[in-house]
Amino acid sequence: KQEVTQIPAALSVPEGENLVLNCSFTDSAIYNLQWFRQDPGKGLTSLLLIQSSQREQTSGRLNASLDKSSGRSTLYIAASQPGDSATYLCAVRWTGGFKTIFGAGTRLFVKA
Amino acid sequence: AAGVIQSPRHLIKEKRETATLKCYPIPRHDTVYWYQQGPGQDPQFLISFYEKMQSDKGSIPDRFSAQQFSDYHSELNMSSLELGDSALYFCASLGYANTGELFFGEGSRLTVL
């Protein structure tokens, strides 16, 4: 069964700290992996998309890596800010289909 | 840039009523996904359409149906509503010829009383 798991479920850090969010998935035959941010009661904002042939993607203070063989992706956030407080979700699409499955997310709180 | 448009943004229905949600994908995007997100839960994949045909199916209840029209907009029809159907319903669009990046709408919040 294709599943996506995110740890930790919640994380609280002081402002300025670098942090890593983890996403793991079963079945390494993925098509792509996408990281999203969601504020409470709001929509999903795409942060980074990694194709199966890529190892990492960067956007500003965000860096996402992908290791298909181990079934893992990490989202690195540098110099965290209170405005980064949100839920971060990873979503995986596997080859051979359109279905894209989300992990349960990591709720991040950055303290000023 | 044009984004994914969902309507209505908020909807209140009684149990056993019917509701219809609409999704207008980004122009030239030919693939639409529907997700359901209950309170405190991650988005659950319901169904997807590519070029007006169902392309994949997830945990969509039999009481729900969806279709994609010739202009690529999609509608999610929900009948015999139950309290547990109260959730945020998201639509996402995908340009098949592009990178595969999903773009989400702001969601439609359905409350069933």
- pLDDT, tens digit, 9 for 90 and up, residues B8-17: 999 999 999 9
Beta strands in B8-84 (DSSP E): 10-13, 19-24, 31-37, 44-50, 53-57, 64-68, 74-78
Q: Do residue B33 and residue A32 have CB atoms under 8 angstroms apart?
A: no
| Identity of residue A103 | G
Model confidence at A47, in pLDDT bands (50, 70, 90)? very high
Average pLDDT of the segment spanning A69-91: 97
What pLDDT, on a 0 to 100 scale, did the predictor assign at position B28? 87
C-alpha to C-alpha distances, B4 to A101, B12, B65, nearest whole angstrom: 19, 22, 20
Residue B48 has its nearest CB partner, among A99, A103, A104, at: A99
C-alpha–C-alpha distance, residues A110 and A74, integer Å: 18
Q: Do residue A98 and residue B102 have CB atoms under 8 angstroms apart?
A: no
Q: Is the pLDDT of residue A69 over 90?
A: yes
Nearest CA in chain A to B87: A41
Q: Do residue A51 and residue B99 have CB atoms under 8 angstroms apart?
A: yes
What pLDDT, on a 0 to 100 scale, did the predictor assign at position A33? 96
Q: Is the pLDDT of residue B98 over 80?
A: no
Q: Which residues of A touch B92 (CB under 8 A)?
A: 44
Residue A84, min C-alpha distance to chain B (Å): 19
Contact assessment for residue B67 and residue B75, using Cβ atoms and an 8 Å cutoff: yes
What pLDDT, on a 0 to 100 scale, did the predictor assign at position B102? 92
C-alpha–C-alpha distance, residues B81 and B45, integer Å: 19
Q: Do residue A32 and residue B45 have CB atoms under 8 angstroms apart?
A: no
Q: Is the pLDDT of residue B29 over 70?
A: yes
